[in-house]
Each structure stands twice: as C-alpha cells, then as structure tokens.
Amino acid sequence: MDMDHVRDRGLVLLGCGKMGSALLQGWLQGGLAAASVWVIDPNPSDWLRALDGLHLNAGLPATPAIVLVAVKPQMMGTALPTLAAMGNGDTLFLSVAAGTSIAHYEQVLGARTPIIRAMPNTPAAVARGITAIVANGPGAAGMDLAEALLSAVGQVVRLDDEAQIDAVTGVSGSGPAYVFHLIETLAAAGEAQGLPTDLAMRLAKATVAGAGALAEQSDDDPAQLRVNVTSPGGTTAAALAVLMDAETGFPALLNRAVAAATARSKELGQ
C-alpha cells in the first residue's frame, strides 16, 4: 500500500488535536488533497473548519486506506468501537495515542486488523519530531506507508518489539519536557548570576537549540563535542565537574527520570 492508495481510498483522522493537526498540515504541504481526508473530531479547530474540500464529521468511506487514531486516551473507549466494521480488512490502523496497546486495538477491531502503534513527540509541531513505530503481524506490510506519513513531521525509527515503547516514551515521548525544564533552569541560573530575565532566557533557548542542532548535524558524537568545548581547568570544566558527578549530577538524575517515565508508561498501558 502506498500514497496513491491513500489518495484513492481516503485517510480517516480519528481525533485532530495538536498531533493530528501537525500531521495533517504536513500531508497537505506534501501534496495530499484535503478531499482525500475525513476528520472525526467533536471540537474541530477553526483551521480545520476552513480547509476547503476536507470531510469534517461527515460519512466515512467503507474501506479507507488508513485510519490514524489520534484521540485522547479517555475518548478511546467511545470513539474506536464506531470503526469496528473497518477491522479485519485491509484498512491500516495507525495509532499515535499514548498508552493504548496493539492488543487493545485487536480486541476492539479484530485480530486480523493491520495495526501499527506509534510514539511521536511534540516537536512534530515544527516538523522536528521523532516517532517510533511497531506493527502487529498483519500491519507489517503497512510499515513503509506509516513511515512515509509520519515523516511529514520529522524522523521515524522502527522498533523490534512493542515492549520497547515504554522506554521510548521515557526518552523521546516525554523527553521534550525535560529539555524545556533544562531551558527554564539554565535561564534562572543565569539570572541568579546577575543577568536580566529576558536576556538569560534568550541565551538559554538559543544555547539548547543550537547545541541540539550541532549534535544532530556533526560527525562527532556528543561525548566528543563535549570534550571539544572543555579546556582543562577552564570554565566548562568547572561546570561539568558539577553536572557529571555520578551521585548528584546528570547521570543519576536522568537515569531516575527516564526510569520513572518508563515505569509510569508500563502502568498506564496495563
């Protein structure tokens, strides 16, 4: 199945909040016609309402190429069963809903339904996301299509096993919040050393964004990039002596943070 199938048979977006909107925007920019898209959303945004040709809360095609499930977990129980008639066929269900297992989709839609579970993250809003995907048996044939669709908002990686999704949640799913908090605290620390509030924040944002871009584009790994910035006995070394402390620094702190997120993801998925 490829993008031509999507154009011909249609794409259904179940839920269109921030993530659904970011994806839809990417597809439209990539040349998918709004007329190929059906959206089911109880509170559609003004942007959605204004899209010419889009089918909004209208009758659905019987066998669309793909259903992208992007509803909030608490709405899943009512929304998904309405699409059960599309299960056990060749309609691919692609889920970006956190905490809902492939097994749950199979229970509601049927075990022969092609299902791909994805864990995206919020930088998708600026097409800088990274999404991990994993399929059930029938869904394996749809992995290329899922990757093509999700590439509209950033990078895509494939997992060997659904069990890895909890750790992915801990690293990249929840991870943007850790970085936002790093920016907050870095700016506050600059303020504590006498910088004006707005200047400290501008320095912190640009430094984190710039270092991230350098880490992604450089041939050197992050450890080498760190060494490159660190003169013996200099200012960076003084700061790293604090941050790299095995007990109180980043190594112990981030390990605990990612472990906590991973454990919570497992609990929510039960």
Express each pLDDT in 23-77 by its tens digit.
Answer: 999 999 999 999 999 999 999 999 999 999 999 999 999 999 999 999 987 888 8
Q: pLDDT of 185-224, one tens digit each?
A: 999 999 999 999 999 999 999 999 999 999 999 999 999 9
> Are the CB atoms for 70 and 19 separated by under 8 Å?
yes
Same domain? For 133 and 23 the reply is yes
CATH number at residue 251: 1.10.3730.10
Q: Residue 65 belongs to what domain range?
A: 3-165
Same domain? For 120 and 189 the reply is no
Q: pLDDT of 111-168, one tens digit each?
A: 999 999 999 999 999 999 999 999 999 999 999 999 999 999 999 999 999 999 999 9
Q: pLDDT of 233-245, one tens digit each?
A: 999 999 999 999 9
| pTM above threshold 0.85 | yes
170 occurs within a structural domain:
no
Q: How many domains does the chain have?
A: 2
Q: Cα(80)–Cα(62) distance, rounded to whole angstroms?
A: 15
Same domain? For 156 and 193 the reply is no
Beta strand 66-69 with 92-95 is parallel
